Amino acid sequence: MVAPGGRLMDAIVETFRWLTDAASWTGPRGVLARSLEHLWISLVPLASAMAVAIPAGVLAGHHRRGQAVGAAISNLGRAVPSLALLVFGLLLSVRVLGLGFSFWPIVFTLFFLALQPLFTNSYTAVREADPALLEAARGQGLSERDVLLAVELPVASPVILTAVRITAVQVVATAPLGALAAGGGLGRFIIDGFGQKDDGQMLGGVVLVAVFALLVEFAITRLERRVVPGPLQGRTDAAAVVATGRAN
Amino acid sequence: MTDPMIRLDGATKTFPGTSTPAVDALSLEVPTGEIVVFVGPSGCGKTTTLKMINRIIEPTGGTITVDGVDVRDREPHLLRRDIGYVIQQIGLFPHRTIAQNVATVPRLLGWDEDRTRARVDELLVTMGLDEELGARYPAELSGGQRQRVGVARALAADPPVLLMDEPFGAVDPIVRGRLQVELLDLQARLRKTIVFVTHDIDEAIHLGDRIAILNVGGHLEQYAPPEDILREPATPFVEEFLGPERGLKRLALRTVADLGELGLGNCVQADASVEEAAQVAAEHQERWIGILDGDRLRGWAWVSDLDGARRAGDVETSLFRVALSAEDTLRAALDGLVRSRTGVAVVLGPDQRYDGMITLARLNQAMVS
C-alpha cells in the first residue's frame, strides 16, 4: 500500500537525486551552462528596458508630463499576461524581424515585461518629490538640469532601485517561458523534464529558477545599499513600487 | 537716501485660468539694508509678491528691479544665486550633509574647496550651530536647527538680498521667538536687504523696519515703519488687522532708553531731613518716598513711617522688586509699574546705579507726544 504523499516523497527524492547528480551540472546542457544562458536572456532585456524606461520615466516625471501615457502603459502592462507577451515576442521575432526562435522571442517578451514597472516607478518617484524641496533648490539657483540630476534623481533613487530589483526578479522568474519558444536557460529543464516525464529534472528546474531569483534579489539589494544615498536608505519598500503586480 | 535695493513698479500676477489678479499693480520700494515685512490675511498676495522677486513665480505685468536690474533681464537661476531664499518648509536636501547643504550656492558659483569649507564653518558658527553638525544629515536635526541651516544656506554666498517666506511659521512659539531675536542680531551685523512674509502681525511689528500691510489682491493698505502704523493706522482694514492692544504693541517697540533722561523722581538721599522727604513726596503726590545712598537706591518707605525719625534714612525700607535696564521695552516698564506697590518702575544702569523711575504719566506722555 502506498501512503498518501508517497508520490510527493518520490518526487522530492528524484529531484534531490537529479540536483546532486554531477552529470546534471556539466556539459553544454548542464545546469551551469543553462544558468549562464538564463542570466544572459534576463540581463539583455532588463538592461535594455532600464536604458529606455528609466530615463523616459525620470524625464516625464521632471516635466510632469506624460501622465496619460504613463497610466496607459501601466494599465496595459498589468492587464496583458506574460504568456500573451510571449506570443507577441514570438511574432515580432519570427514573423516581423525574421530573427527566428530561441533567443529573441523571450528577450523581446521580457523587455516589454520590464518596461512598465520601470517606467511607472521612475515617473512616480520623480513626480512625487517634495515640491518644497524643489522650490528651495530652484530658489538657491540650481538650473533645471541641476534640479533633475542633483535633487530629483538622488531623492527618487531608492524607489527606482527598488523597482529595478522587483523587475529583475520578475524577469528572471518569467524567463523560463522562453523554453516554450525553443529558448535556453533554466526553463529548459522544466519543459524538457515535463516532456520526458522526468519529474526530477522538471522539479529541479523549478528549484533552480527559484534559487536564481533569490540570488538576483540578494545581489540587487546589496547594490541598492551602495547606490542609494545613505540617509535615504531603508524607507522605500512600503512607500513605493506601484503596479508591479500583474496577471501572469 | 540711497537707491532702494528692490523696486516694484506695478507688479502684477494673474494666474492662468483666473480673471482677477492675485497681485494687482503693486508698487513699493524696499530700502537697502532694511527688513521689510509683507503681512496680511490669506489671499492677500504677500507670498506671490515675494516669489515674483526671484521669479519662482513669473510676474505677468509691471517691473521688478533688484539692485537696479530688471529681474526679467537675467536667467532665473543666475538671478537667484544673488538672492538668498528661505521658505517655511526649509527644503534642505535630505541626501546631503548639513555642510553640503550650506555649500550649495558657493558650489554653484565655483568657489574652491578651501574657501567653501571656511565659509561653511563660519556660517555654522554665525547661526549658533555646532560645527560637528556639519557632518550630519537634515533628518537628524531638530526643527529649529534645520531652520538655522536654511538661513545659513541662504546666506552662504553673501547675497545682498534675502527673501524669507514665513520662515518661522512651522516651529513652536518658544523657538520662533528665539529665531526672531537671532535674525535681528544677525541683521544688526550683516545689514542685508530682507523681505520677510508672515501672517503674524506681532512678528511683523517685532522684525520689520517697515511693514507693508496687504489686502486681498495685493492691494497695499499701508506701508510704513511699525511705530507709525500702530500710531496712525491708515485705513479701517489696517486698524482691524492690527487687532486690540495697539498701545501695548507700540510700547513693545520702544525702550526705556528712548525716554531719555528720567530725573531723580520721588527720591531723597538717606541723610535728608524728614521734612524734606515729606515735601518731595508731596510734590510727587505720593505717600511713599525713595531713599538713596549716593547713586544707589536703598528702597522706599511710607512717609507716615518717618514720623519721629530725624533723617529719611533712619527707617526700615522696602525693596523695589522690579528693576529695569535701558534696553527693556516700555511694555516691560508698564508691566513692572502696574505690579509695583509704589506705582513706578525703577531703572538701574550699569553696576546697579540708580538711573531714575518711570511713572504712568511719563509713559503716557511718551506715547501721545
Cβ neighbourhood burial of B26 (10 Å; 0-12, 13-18, 19+):
buried
Domain annotation covers residue B140: yes
Residue A229 near chain B (CB below 8 Å) = yes
Q: Looking at the predicted structure, is the pLDDT value of residue A96 above 50?
A: yes
pLDDT digits (tens, 9 = 90+) for A120-144: 899 999 998 999 999 999 999 999 9
Place A3 in a pLDDT band, splitting at 50, 70 and 90.
low
Given a contact cutoff of 8 angstroms between Cβ atoms, the answer to whether A32 and A39 are in contact is no
Residues of B in contact with A155 (CB under 8 A): 94-95
List the grid coordinates of A144. 533645471
| Integer angstrom CA distances of residue A229 from A220, A226, B137 | 15, 8, 11
What pLDDT, on a 0 to 100 scale, did the predictor assign at position A161?
92
Nearest CA in chain B to A228: B95
Residue A84 CB contacts under 8 Å (≥ 6 apart), including other chains: none
Same domain (yes/no): B222, B261: no
Asked whether A148 and A205 are in contact (CB, 8 A), the reply is no
Res A240: pLDDT: 44
Asked if B288 and B342 count as a contact pair (C-beta separation under 8 A), the reply is yes
Q: What are phi and psi of A72, to 5 degrees?
A: -65, -50
Q: Which of B246, B279, B296 is the last residue of a domain?
A: B246
Whether residues B154 and B281 share a domain: the answer is no
pLDDT for the residue numbered A4: 58
Torsion over CA: B154, B158, B164, B169 (sign): positive
- Say if the Cβ atoms of A231 and B94 lie within 8 Å: yes
Q: How confident is the model at residue A247 (pLDDT cuts 50, 70, 90)?
A: very low
Do the bridges between strand B344-348 and strand B323-324 make them parallel or antiparallel, or are there none, so unpaired? Answer: parallel
Could you tell me if residue B269 is left (phi over 0), alpha (psi between -120 and 50 degrees) or otherwise beta?
beta
- Sign of CA pseudo-dihedral A153, A155, A161, A164: negative
In the structure, what pLDDT confidence band is assigned to residue A48 with cuts at 50, 70 and 90?
very high
Same domain, B236 and B341: no
Helix (H) or strand (E) holding B299: strand B296-302
| C-alpha cell, B136 | 550630519
What is the predicted pLDDT for the residue at A243?
A: 40
The span from the CA of B249 to the CA of A174, in Å, is: 73
Number of inter-chain CB pairs under 8 A, A vs B = 74
Q: Measured between CA atoms, how close is B357 to chain A, in angstroms? A: 50
CB A19 within 8 A of CB A203: no
Q: Above 80 in pLDDT, residue A238?
A: no
Q: Exposure of B163 by Cβ count < 10 A (0-12 exposed, 13-18 middle, 19+ buried)? A: buried
Does A248 have pLDDT greater than 50? no
Q: List the single best residue of B57, B78, B95 to mutate versus A (max A Cβ within 10 A).
A: B95
Rg (CA), chain B: 26
- Mutation pick from A140, A143, A157 vs chain B, by most beta carbons of B within 10 Å, is A140
Same-domain check for residues B210 and B121:
yes
Count how many Cα atoms sit within 13 Å of the Cα of residue A55 in the half-sphere of its side chain.
5
Residue-level pLDDT at B1: 53
Reading across the β-sheet that carries B193-198, which strands appear in turn? B83-87, B161-165, B193-198, B35-39, B210-215, B219-224
What is the separation, in whole angstroms, between the first and last Cα of chain A? 39
User: Grid coordinates standing for A137?
Assistant: 533648490
How confident is the model at residue A7, as a pLDDT? 81
> How many domains are contained in chain B?
2
Query: What are the CB-based long-range contacts (under 8 Å, 24+) for A99-102?
Result: A101/A181, A101/A182, A101/A183, A102/A181, A102/A182, A102/A183, A102/A184
Determine, yes or no, domain membership for B1.
Answer: no
Residue A236 is predicted with a pLDDT of 54
CB contact under 8 A, B81 and A231: no
Domain boundaries, chain A: 30-232
Q: Residues of A with CB below 8 A from B96's CB?
A: 229
Q: How many other CB atoms are found less than 10 A from the CB of residue B258?
A: 11
Looking at B211, B246, B281, the residue that finishes a domain is B246
CB contact under 8 A, B85 and A136: yes
B172 lies in the same domain as B70: yes
Q: Do A140 and B76 touch (CB under 8 A)?
A: no
For residue B189, give the C-alpha cell: 551685523
A234 confidence band (pLDDT: 50, 70, 90): low
CA distance A148 to chain B (A): 13
A234 touches chain B (CB under 8 A): no
Domain ranges, residue B183: 6-246
Strands (DSSP E) contained in chain A are: none
pLDDT confidence of residue B8: 96
pLDDT digits (tens, 9 = 90+) for B233-249: 999 999 999 988 888 88
pLDDT mean across residues, chain A:
85
Q: Which residue has the cell 506681532?
A: B202
Is residue A242 pLDDT above 50, yes or no? no
Say whether both B144 and B12 belong to one domain: yes
Instruction: Specify whether B217 is located in the same domain as B364.
Output: no
Place of cell 547713586: B295
Asked if the structure places residue B30 within a domain, the reply is yes
Q: Give the residues of chain B that fall short of pLDDT 70.
A: 1
Local structure of B220: helix, strand or coil: strand
| Torsion B187-B79-B48-A133 (CA) sign | negative
**In this structure, what CATH number is given to the domain that contains residue B54?**
3.40.50.300
DSSP A197-243: T-HHHHHHHHHHHHHHHHHHHHHHHHHHHHHS-GGGTT--TTT---S
State the CATH number of the domain containing residue B279. Answer: 3.10.580.10
Neighbouring C-alpha atoms within 13 Å toward the C-beta of B334: 17
Can you read off the three cell numbers belonging to residue A20? 546532486
- Strands B267-269 and B288-293 turn out to be parallel
Put simply, whether A145 touches B (Cβ < 8 Å) is: no
Give the β-pairing of B61-66 and B6-13.
antiparallel
- Taking an 8 Å cut-off on Cβ atoms, the answer to whether B105 and A141 are in contact is yes
Are B233 and B289 in the same domain? no
A30-232 classified as CATH 1.10.3720.10: yes
Task: Say yes or no: B188 and B333 in one domain.
Answer: no
B35/A contact by beta carbon, under 8 A = no
Percent helix / strand / coil, chain B, rounded to 5: 40, 25, 35
Q: Does B78 touch chain A (CB under 8 A)?
A: yes
CA pair distance B27, A131, nearest whole angstrom:
29
- Interface check for A135 against chain B (CB to CB < 8 A): the answer is yes
Distance in angstroms (rounded) separating the CA atoms of residues B28 and B47: 15
pLDDT-derived band at A47 (thresholds 50, 70, 90) equals: very high
Residue B87: which of A136, A146, A231 has the nearest Cβ? A136
B95 at interface of A, judged by CB pairs closer than 8 A: yes
What is the reported pLDDT for A5? 64
User: How far away is chain A from the Cα of B137, in angstroms, using its nearest Cα?
Assistant: 7
